[in-house]
Amino acid sequence: MRKIILVMFFCAFLFIISTSLNSVYAESYTTYESIIFENEGIVMLDSWSYLIESSYMNKLSKGKMFGWNVFYSYKKEPFTFISETLYHVKNSGLKEITHTFKYEESEELQIQRSVKGNLEVGLDYTKEQKKISKFKFGLESKLEFEYKETSKNKTTKTDTVKIIIAPNSELFIKVQGKGYLYQGVAKKYFLFITTKSGGFEYCIITTEYYSIDMTIIDQSLMEYER
């Protein structure tokens, strides 16, 4: 009898933990200047309302003894994005300057993940001691990836390009790109009791495009010089 009560207490404890946490973890793609989907109607994970989340949760198949149940609301949805400015240099002087711009190893991950509820994303290390982020508690292996990332992605190895910055101008190196988004909800069960529950989202960046964009700081100054 005492054992049964202990098991019930343990289950109740797991249930409380599973339902009490509702945080959002998001990697840097959520801070992009803009993300435009080819298809309409996609709401990103961090903007989900209670209604959206519960409608997806209802589509999950019934509980099970152990393991994960996963429902995908979207799979491989193509999008384009404008990222934050990669590089910014200001030349307030009245003479042009030459600047060496360095493409450094990208800190961006090729596969970027977000979670809601009490799902978690954690950093792991590969055999080569490289950092890699993963959905925790075994969810990673339950999800579909066309491509398995095994280490942080590189752009090109510290590569340089010389650019002349016009007088009274600001140089911006901007990044645009494209990729695919996957999104859904997942629940983890232990003895038919939900222990983990929430929304997940991951996007796979396939290509980045770079552009030089220089703007005159003070147009009146240029006119004054004339």
Contact residues toward another protein (CB under 8 A) are: 80, 96, 98, 103, 110, 126, 128, 147-148, 150-157, 159-167, 169, 176, 204-215, 222, 225-226
Residue type, 100: T
Do 24 and 201 touch, CB atoms closer than 8 A? no
Q: How far apart are CA 159 and CA 103, in angstroms?
A: 5
How far apart are CB 173 and another protein at their closest, in Å?
Answer: 10
How far apart are CB 219 and another protein at their closest, in Å?
Answer: 11
How far apart are CB 81 and another protein at their closest, in Å?
Answer: 12
Residue 81, number of CB atoms within 10 A of its CB: 19
Residue 20 or 98: the one with the smaller Cβ distance to another protein is: 98
How far apart are CB 148 and another protein at their closest, in Å?
Answer: 6
Q: Quickly tell me which residue has 């949760």 as its tokens.
A: 57
Q: How far apart are CA 9 and CA 138, in angstroms?
A: 25
How far apart are CB 104 and another protein at their closest, in Å?
Answer: 12
Residue 77 or 208: the one with the smaller Cβ distance to another protein is: 208
Residue 52 or 166: the one with the smaller Cβ distance to another protein is: 166
Residue 6 or 161: the one with the smaller Cβ distance to another protein is: 161
Residue 58 or 207: the one with the smaller Cβ distance to another protein is: 207
Q: How far, in Å, are 2, 6, 52, 168, 169 from residue 83 at the CA level?
A: 58, 52, 27, 25, 22
Alpha carbon 18 to chain centroid distance? Answer: 23
Residue type, 47: S
